[in-house]
C-alpha cells in the first residue's frame, strides 16, 4: 500500500447503497492499512482493527481474490457460472493459443518447473537468452534483460540506476511498482502532474543540475487506459539532458499499428532510453523485462538486487512469452481486432452515459467515484454474467473508484453486445447512469 495518493474523495452513495454500507459499517479508510499509532507493542494487536474485508464479504460486496474456476480467455467460469471476461490483461487472447501451450509444455518437460536458482548462478536457460534477443529486436532496442516479473523489472532497473546521488521523477499516476522501485532506490523521488510536460519541465528546472535523474512514466496507464504524450515528454527530457524509462506493460501488443507500443503509436523512430514490459498481459505468461542500450543493461544485470537475489523465471513461462511475442507478428489480425474492439466499446459505453475518462486503449475505465457503489456495480454485473475489476484506493485516489474493463481480441461481437446490454441495465440499477 505504498502508492502515495492521499486525496480524499467526495463519494455520494445512492440511498440503498449508503444504507447498505452503513448497515455493514464499511469504513473505506481502513483500506489505507495504517496501524494504530498507540497501544500494544504486539504487532498483531495493532492491526486487529482491520475488519473491512470481512464486513464487505458479509454484505456480499467484496470484489477481490475471486476464484476463477475456468479461464477460456473471452469467457470464464466464476461461482459455477459462465461469464464474459472483461477483467483480464490477456489482450490478444493468447493464453490458450495451442502454440503457446505447446511451447510451455515442451519447456516444462525439458527443464522442469523451476531452475531453482537466480539468473546469475544457475537460472539462465537458452530460452531466456532467445527471449531477450527477440524482445530487443521486436522493440528496435539494443538488448534486453528478463526478470521474474514486471514488478521486479521496475524495481531492478530503477534501484540499480538511482543511487544516493540520483533522483527519480515520477508521473503521479505511474504503476505502484514504479513507486515501489523509487522507494527501493537509494536516491530521493519527486513527482509531476499526470501527463503534463509543462509541469515536468518546471520540476526538472528546479532540480540540482548536477543530480542524475530518471523520469519514469507508463506508456499506457493501467487504470485510466490513457496514453502518455510521449513526444512532448521526450522533448522536455532532452532539454534537461534527462533519461526516461517508459513502462509499456499495457501498450505492447495493443498500441501502435503492429503492437509495438507507445513509441510506435506516435511514429517515433528513436527508441526509448529504457523500456519496461511484462509477460503477464499480452504475452500470456508471467515475467518482465527491461530493454535499452547494451552498456546500461549490462550494468543493470550486475547491480540489480531484484535480478541477483531471486529465483529465475521458469523456462516454461519464458517459452510461453517467446511464442506469444512471435504470434503478435504471425497473427496480425489480433492487434487490429483488439484496437477495433477498444474503439467500439469506448464509443458505446460513452453513448450509454458512462464516463470512460481519457481511455485510448483496450483498457476502458468506468468512473464511479464512490467505493461502495463501485463494489455494488461490480457485483450486479457479475450476477448478470459479466466479470470486471472494481478498483479502489490505493490503486486509485480515495473517492475516485472505477470499474476497470478490458477487452480481448477474441471477444465475439455477440459477447460484446450482451455485455453492453448488461452494463446498461446494471448501470441504471446502481445509479451509475440515469
Ligand atoms: C504498468 C505496469 N507495470 C508493471 C506491472 C507489473 O507487472 P507484473 O504483473 O509482471 O509484475 C504492471 C502489472 O499490473 C503494470 O500494470
Question: Per-residue pLDDT tens for 74-132?
Answer: 999 999 999 999 999 999 999 999 999 999 999 999 999 999 999 999 999 999 999 99
Mode of pairing for the β-strands spanning 243-247 and 212-218: parallel
301 and 368 housed in the same domain: no
Alpha helices in 365-412 (DSSP H): 371-383
CA of 177 to the centre of ligand 1 (A): 7
- For this structure, is 188 an active site residue? no
CATH number reported for the structural domain that contains residue 72 in this entry: 3.90.1150.10
- Report whether 181 contacts 160 (CB < 8 A): no
Q: Does some domain include residue 5?
A: no
CB of 280 within 6 A of ligand 1: the answer is yes
226 lines ligand 1 (CB under 6 A): no
The one catalytic residue in 222, 264, 359, 406 is: 222
Specify the number of domains making up the chain. 2
Domain boundary among 314, 330, 346: 330
Give distance in angstroms: CA of 249 to centre of ligand 1.
6
Distance 154 CA to ligand 1 centre (A): 9
| 3 in a structural domain | no
> Max Cα separation, the chain?
61
Ligand 1 lined by 389 (C-beta under 6 Å) = no
Determine the angle formed by the axes of helices 150-161 and 294-303, rounding to 10 degrees: 100
For the ranges 55-59, 71-75, 231-235, 404-408, which has the lowest average pLDDT?
A: 55-59
User: Is a pLDDT exceeding 80 seen at residue 21?
Assistant: no
Distance 307 CA to ligand 1 centre (A): 16
Q: What is the pLDDT of residue 52?
A: 85
Residue 35 confidence (pLDDT) above 70: no
Last residue of a domain, one of 265, 298, 330: 330
**Probe ligand 1: pick from 158, 172, 175, 246, max atoms within 8 Å of CB?**
175
Catalytic residue among 97, 128, 175, 281, which?
Answer: 281
Does residue 23 or residue 402 have the better pLDDT? Answer: 402
User: Which of 278, 285, 314 is the best mutation target for the ligand 1 pocket, counting ligand atoms within 8 Å of the beta carbon and taking the most?
Assistant: 278
Our mutation pick for probing the ligand 1 site, out of 177, 227, 276, 280, counting the most ligand atoms within 8 A of Cβ, is: 177
Least confident of 5-14, 72-81, 228-237: 5-14
Residue 328 has φ and ψ, to the nearest 5°, of: -60, -40
Residue 24 has pLDDT above 60, yes or no: no
Query: Checking DSSP bridges between strand 166-171 and strand 212-218, what pairing results, if any?
Result: parallel
Other C-beta atoms closer than 10 Å to the C-beta of 101 total: 15
* Distance (Å) from CA 353 to ligand 1 centroid: 30
Q: Specify the ligand 1 atom closest to the Cα of 220.
A: 1
Give the pLDDT confidence score for residue 12 in this predicted structure. 32
> At residue 339, does pLDDT exceed 60?
yes
Residue 98 neighbours by CB distance under 10 Å? 8
Per the domain annotation, does 75 fall within a domain? yes
| Annotated catalytic residue within 250, 265, 384, 411 | 250
Q: Do 128 and 193 share a domain, yes or no? A: yes
Residues 102, 80 share a domain: no
Give the DSSP letter of residue 272.
Answer: P
Task: Give Rg (Cα) of the chain.
Answer: 22
Whether residues 121 and 195 fall in one domain: yes
250 catalytic? Reply is: yes
| C-alpha cell read off for 9 | 474523495
CA of 146 from ligand 1 middle (Å) equals: 14
Q: Respond yes or no: is residue 222 known to be catalytic.
A: yes
Q: Considering the chain, what percentage of its residues have pLDDT values greater than 90? A: 84
Please work out whether the CB of residue 175 comes within 6 Å of at least one atom of ligand 1: yes
CATH number of the domain to which 117 belongs: 3.40.640.10
Give the pLDDT of residue 395.
82
Establish whether residue 404 lines the binding site of ligand 1, counting it when its CB lies within 6 angstroms of any ligand atom.
Answer: no
All three cell numbers of 412: 465475439
Q: Let me know whether 151 and 83 are in one domain.
A: no
Q: Determine if ligand 1 sits within 6 Å of the CB of residue 218.
A: yes
Residue 43 lies in a domain: no
Domain edge (last residue) among 330, 350, 378: 330
Strands (E), 186-283: 188-192, 212-218, 243-247, 274-278
Beta strands in 179-287 (DSSP E): 188-192, 212-218, 243-247, 274-278
pLDDT, the chain, mean: 92
Specify the long-range contacts of residues 235-242, CB closer than 8 Å, at least 24 apart.
Answer: 235/197, 236/197, 236/200, 236/201, 236/204, 237/200, 237/204, 239/201, 239/204, 240/201, 240/204, 240/205, 240/213, 242/169, 242/204, 242/213, 242/214, 242/215
| Residues spanned by the domain of 20 | 15-30+51-91+333-429
247 CB near ligand 1 (under 6 Å): yes
Which numbered atom of ligand 1 lies nearest the CA of 174?
1
Amino acid at each position: 500500500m505504498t502508492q502515495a495518493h492521499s486525496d480524499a474523495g467526495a463519494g455520494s452513495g445512492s440511498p440503498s447503497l449508503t444504507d447498505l454500507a452503513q448497515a455493514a459499517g464499511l469504513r473505506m479508510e481502513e483500506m489505507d492499512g495504517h496501524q494504530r499509532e498507540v497501544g500494544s507493542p504486539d504487532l498483531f494487536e495493532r492491526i486487529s482493527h482491520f475488519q473491512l474485508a470481512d464486513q464487505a464479504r458479509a454484505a456480499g460486496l467484496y470484489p477481490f481474490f475471486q476464484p476463477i474456476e475456468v479461464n477460456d480467455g473471452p469467457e470464464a467460469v466464476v461461482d459455477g457460472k459462465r461469464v464474459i471476461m472483461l477483467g483480464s490483461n490477456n489482450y490478444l487472447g493468447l493464453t490458450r493459443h495451442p502454440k503457446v501451450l505447446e511451447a510451455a509444455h515442451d519447456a516444462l518437460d525439458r527443464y522442469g518447473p523451476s531452475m531453482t536458482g537466480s539468473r546469475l548462478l544457475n537460472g539462465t536457460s537458452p530460452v531466456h537468452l532467445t527471449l531477450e534477443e527477440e524482445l530487443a529486436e521486436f522493440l528496435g532496442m539494443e538488448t534486453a534483460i528478463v526478470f521474474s516479473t514486471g514488478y521486479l523489472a521496475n524495481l531492478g532497473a530503477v534501484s540499480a540506476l538511482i543511487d544516493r546521488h540520483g533522483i527519480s521523477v515520477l508521473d503521479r499516476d505511474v504503476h505502484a511498482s514504479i513507486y515501489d522501485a523509487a522507494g527501493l532506490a537509494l536516491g530521493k523521488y519527486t513527482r509531476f502532474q499526470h501527463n503534463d510536460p509543462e509541469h515536468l519541465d518546471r520540476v526538472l528546472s528546479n532540480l540540482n543540475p548536477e543530480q542524475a535523474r530518471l523520469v519514469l512514466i507508463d506508456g499506457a496507464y493501467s487504470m485510466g487506459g490513457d496514453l502518455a504524450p510521449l513526444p512532448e515528454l521526450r522533448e522536455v527530457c532532452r532539454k534537461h539532458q534527462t533519461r526516461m524509462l517508459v513502462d509499456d506493460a499495457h501498450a505492447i501488443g495493443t498500441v501502435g499499428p503492429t503492437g509495438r507500443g507507445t513509441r510506435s503509436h506516435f511514429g517515433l523512430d528513436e527508441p526509448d532510453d529504457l523500456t519496461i514490459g511484462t509477460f503477464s498481459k499480452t504475452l500470456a505468461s508471467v515475467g518482465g523485462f527491461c530493454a535499452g542500450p547494451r552498456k546500461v543493461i549490462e550494468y543493470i544485470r550486475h547491480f540489480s538486487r531484484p535480478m541477483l537475489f531471486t529465483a529465475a523465471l521458469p523456462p516454461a513461462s519464458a517459452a510461453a512469452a517467446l511464442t506469444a511475442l512471435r504470434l503478435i507478428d504471425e497473427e496480425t489480425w489480433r492487434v487490429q481486432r483488439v484496437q477495433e474492439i477498444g474503439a467500439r466499446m469506448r464509443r458505446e459505453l460513452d453513448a450509454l452515459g458512462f464516463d470512460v475518462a481519457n481511455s485510448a486503449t483496450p483498457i476502458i475505465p468506468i468512473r464511479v467515484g464512490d467505493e461502495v457503489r463501485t463494489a455494488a456495480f461490480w457485483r450486479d454485473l457479475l450476477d448478470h454474467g459479466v466479470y470486471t475489476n472494481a478498483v479502489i484506493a490505493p490503486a486509485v485516489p480515495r473517492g475516485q473508484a472505477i470499474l476497470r474493463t478490458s477487452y480481448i481480441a477474441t471477444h465475439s461481437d455477440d459477447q460484446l453486445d450482451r455485455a453492453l446490454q448488461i452494463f446498461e441495465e446494471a448501470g441504471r440499477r446502481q445509479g451509475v447512469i440515469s
